[in-house]
Each structure stands twice: as structure tokens, then as C-alpha cells.
Structure 1
């Protein structure tokens, strides 16, 4: 069963976001992940949190954990922290 990473974010530094995205995208693919959708949130109920979001599908929970804790992904975190306020959440098997 697939596992999904739901990302909520607000961009703080567009140049750092570009660097992060350019580095993180190929690493996500390396671990079997694929971007399903990304863009601006539209709140249907409740208070909106961060302004943008993305959903990334992986084959399973183990693939997510292997990706997230990999040395190559961890090396992108400096740009991620500089580029956006964000939350990453995991759902699925």
C-alpha cells in the first residue's frame, strides 16, 4: 500500500527554495517517490495554516523513512530551513 508525504509550506526565500527543490526532487525519485500535486492551498473548512502544499507518493512507509533519513536528503535540509516554513507529515502504510 502506498504511503504519502503531505507537505505544508510558506516560502521565505525563493532562491533557497529553488536550490532545495532542484536537489530534493531527484532524491525523492531515487527512493521511489513521485509528486502527485503541489500548489496553493484552498481552505474548505478551518483556519488555513501555511500557504502552499504538496503531496508525494511513495511505494510504502519504509521507502519514505529511507528517503527522509538518507544522507543525500539530509544534506538538503540547510536550504529547506532557509527557504520555507514547513511541515512534513506521513500517512499510509
Structure 2
């Protein structure tokens, strides 16, 4: 898998706000060539503890695309909703 991935570790605080945020994110990803690879809820822990129960993995063509998406006006407009909806850690990885 070439490119870069963005990993989001998530603890939902407000389910309704989270649903609103999630419904709006895909439109912000499309211009950057991003693809949602996985979204799920933790089912078991085999080593260590993670305070976040949910995860999302999004593949981008490269790190510049992640930077562009994250800084875009379209995504930045969603940050107030995200702050109300969940505690989120976003980490980018390149390969």
C-alpha cells in the first residue's frame, strides 16, 4: 500500500454530533484522493491499553495530501463539530 495513512483514535462524547461530523467528512476527503480503509470499535486488547475505543484509517496518496486536506477550509469548518462530538487523536504514517 503506497502513500500515507491517517489513523484516528476516537472516544465519542456525543453520538448525535459524531453522526453529523461523520456524515460531512467524506465530501472533504474526495478532492484529496483519500480512501476510507477501515472504521471500527475495539473488540479486544492483547498488549497495552488504549483509552480510545474507536478507530478510523484513511489512505491518502501522500503526506502532502493529508496536510492539504487537514488544512482545507472544508475540513477546518468541521472542527467545532468534531470538538463537541469526540476526543480525537490523528496521526499520519508514511510508507
Which category describes the TM-score, using the shorter chain as reference length?
A: over 0.9
Shift of 1:62: 0.4
> What CA deviation, in whole Å up to 9, does each residue of 1:23-78 have, x standing for no partner?
11111122111110111123221112201001000000000000000011000001
Q: CA RMSD in A?
A: 1.1
Q: Counterpart of 1:13? A: 14
Unaligned regions of 5+ residues in structure 1, if any?
none
How many residues get paired? Answer: 93
Which consecutive unaligned segments of at least 5 residues does structure 2 have?
A: none
DSSP-derived class of the 1:45 partner: coil
Q: Which runs of 4+ in 1 moved over 6 A?
A: none
TM-score (norm 2): 0.91
- 1:74 corresponds in structure 2 to 76
| TM-score between the two structures when normalised by the length of structure 1 | 0.93
